[in-house]
Structure 1
Amino acid sequence: MGTWYNIIFKEEHKNTGDLAKVIDLRLSSLNQNLSTYIEQSDLNQLNRSSSDGCVEVSDDTAAVMKEALRIYNLSNGAFDPGLGPLIELWGFDKKDTHEMIPNEGSIQEMLTKLTFGKSELNEQKQCIKKGSSDLAINFSAIAKGYAVDELAEVLEKRYGIKNYLVEIGGEVKVKGNNNQGKPWRIAIEAPDPSSRTVQKIVNPGIMGVATSGDYRNYFEKDGKRYSHTINPVTGYPIDHQLASVTVIHPSAMTADALATAFMVLGDKIGYELAEKNKIAVFMIIKTADGFEEQYNQHFKPYLN
């Protein structure tokens, strides 16, 4: 996944001598199924398939696809794992945009290639029918959260561990207490590209926590800022005042995807969607004087 992971736990009644090995094996299988870096991964084999039919996939791929389609529909397409053609057009896939702005015609052409929403998952046969034969799916905005959930399940079901913190690249899930016997406290980073400071401390309880922001990966041209977060509805980088959004949800996978969706939608539409669906959300919004915080009633209990 191109990032780090961190697990802290209190050993319970079972021997955890082989835990590191078991965790690494599970991560290896997750990569083998969901990675876009591994040429023969389950996901890449699906992406390379030119079949118009339903392609059989692994348990992991099917599980993530199911939730990805749900969040796609919930967000009216703001969360789109088939966004690759637009990301490539803007140059963010190579981390070197050359500060080039694509022309309108090219953007509109790429929008016609975003067919993720037309894809179908057949749960009974555990197969996926892509929205188009050339659709390439990338689960980078949801797979880390799914992996966090899966590692938490290993701790709980295999080892009976009830006090733990699991983190993969900033996506977190906690349960019980820390080593001091106190509830876990998770820091939300301030949207400052020049340093790493804390904006807020939350006590998530038995929950997953995911944050998405646009303050580290962007370029500026002619006085305008272009974020790496692209709106799959318009084809352009997001252009609103939302700098960071944090979601707390029982599933780290769901929190991961929702944070991305809300980041695309912005502070007004994203907040309304969170309220409508009773999702705990915390937003940091750019203002003329700096930043302001906004969170709903579902997030408030986690600030105690």
Structure 2
Amino acid sequence: MRTSYIIYLLLFSVFLTACQQQEYVKINGQTMGTYYTLQFKPESQSVDGLSAQVEQRLEQLNQNLSTYIDDSDLTTLNRSVGRRCFKVSQDTLAVVSEALRIHQLSDGAFDPGLGPLIELWGFDKKQINNQVPADELIKERQAMINFTDTQVRQEQGCIVKGNDLLQINLSAIAKGYAVDELIAILEQQYGIQNYLVEIGGELRVNGNNAHNKPWTVAIESPDPGSRSVQKVITPIDMAVATSGDYRNFFEKDGKRYSHTINPISGYPIEHKLASITVLHPSTMTADAMATTLMVLGEKAGKDFAQQHNLPVFMIIKSDDGFKEYYNDAFKPYLKSATQ
């Protein structure tokens, strides 16, 4: 599963200045088991009803995409049996469709069908007191996973599960989709072009901040004992998503187990990639791609990013601490941050 809270904004004096100038509005709250923030410059029309509209849309998204709500759209889909096309909401249809695309693109490295394994490892709402499952149980749960054969039928508005036992979990992509949906409200209904929208570390920016300068974002150093900044970037008008193994994990008998599961082994990932940041025009895609590359690891992740022209920034464990890597597609966002 994805880590959360691993990207955060540079505080500086943006909030203070925004309050003093009375130009930028900030709306925040809780959703999807985390926190959300919208900062934006209102245009000519009133935004008095925007906060309520945001809350309503987030509640709707939770009701459609959560595995924590017993009667959610996704939970109901997971309970369905038989190879029939099960009617779902447009939200569920859109997110499962993109999840399936990235699943195929990554040869299964991104796999939202890991629900049975996530539950077995206790990385969902059912805690197992940090116990390592028996190997035979892991193999048993792996046999339940078949996201590959899942079908999304757009015209009919329905989904055919890969098999009856498949349990789809969209936690590695749903927050990104929610960010995009809130941005659609800002842009399409209120004409807002200068904004930052963030949910649990997944964010997208556009335009300028309250200082009339491009938004700056800090990538956190993968040190579980601190909240220090590793790198500052200026995403311009892109979404930013980061995945890492240093916040959500447990230790057993001196070994650390990350909450990100490798679909092939059924065990948490074991490699030297500590953190991966991905930029993309779509927050939903950036969210899923960050998890994908975290599963792939350093070498395969670099190759995948190069093949698909993804701007990426990696923090890699070494004997001397951490080393950084970023590809050519990522360089313009570093240069902007230093200007």
Give me the TM-score of the superposition, normalised by structure 1: 0.97
Q: Which residue of 2 aligns with 1:148?
A: 179
Residue 166 of structure 1: which of 185, 197, 200 is its match?
197
Q: Which residue of 1 aligns with 2:231?
A: 200
CA shift in 2, pair 1:139/1:99, >3 Å:
closer
1:52 and 2:83 aligned? yes
1:227 and 2:258 aligned? yes
Output the CA distance in 1 between the equivalents of 2:248 and 2:128.
Answer: 11
1:106 and 2:171 aligned? no
Output the CA distance in 2 between the equivalents of 1:78 and 1:274.
Answer: 13
1:282 and 2:304 aligned? no
Question: What is the one-letter code of the residue matched to 1:118?
Answer: D
Q: Which residue of 1 aligns with 2:147?
A: 116
Q: Which residue of 2 aligns with 1:302?
A: 333
Residues 1-10 or 106-115, more deviating: 106-115
Q: Which residue of 1 aligns with 2:52?
A: 21
Output the CA distance in 2 between the equivalents of 1:234 and 1:172.
Answer: 31
Give me the TM-score of the superposition, normalised by structure 2: 0.87
Residues 25-34 or 142-151, more deviating: 25-34
Q: Which residue of 1 aligns with 2:280?
A: 249
Measure how far apart 1:290 and its partner are. 0.3
Measure how far apart 1:94 and its partner are. 5.0
Question: What is the one-letter code of the residue matched to 1:113?
Answer: M
3-state SS, counterpart of residue 131 of structure 2: coil
Measure how far apart 1:98 and its partner are. 3.9
Structure 1 residues not aligned, in runs of 5+: none
Question: What is the one-letter code of the residue matched to 1:292?
Answer: K
Superposed CA RMSD? 1.3
CA shift in 2, pair 1:182/1:36, >3 Å:
same
3-state SS, counterpart of residue 121 of structure 1: strand
2:41/2:192 contact within 8 Å kept: yes
Structure 2 residues not aligned, in runs of 5+: 1-31
Question: What is the one-letter code of the residue matched to 1:225?
Answer: R
1:188 and 2:211 aligned? no
Identity %: 60
The one-character-per-residue Cα deviations of 1:158-197 (angstroms, maximum 9, x if unpaired) are 0000100000011001000001100000111110111211
Residue 291 of structure 1: which of 297, 311, 322 is its match?
322
2:145/2:165 contact within 8 Å kept: no
Output the CA distance in 2 between the equivalents of 1:8 and 1:148.
Answer: 12
The one-character-per-residue Cα deviations of 1:246-292 (angstroms, maximum 9, x if unpaired) are 00000000000000011111011011101111011111000001000
3-state SS, counterpart of residue 254 of structure 1: helix
Residues 286-295 or 12-21, more deviating: 12-21
Question: What is the one-letter code of the residue matched to 1:228?
Answer: H
1:40 and 2:101 aligned? no
2:68/2:125 contact within 8 Å kept: no
Residue 289 of structure 2: which of 258, 269, 273 is its match?
258
Measure how far apart 1:225 and its partner are. 2.3
2:145/2:167 contact within 8 Å kept: no
3-state SS, counterpart of residue 120 of structure 2: helix
Map 1:90-101; keep pairs closer than 5 Å.
Answer: 90-94=121-125, 96-101=127-132
Residues 83-92 or 28-37, more deviating: 83-92
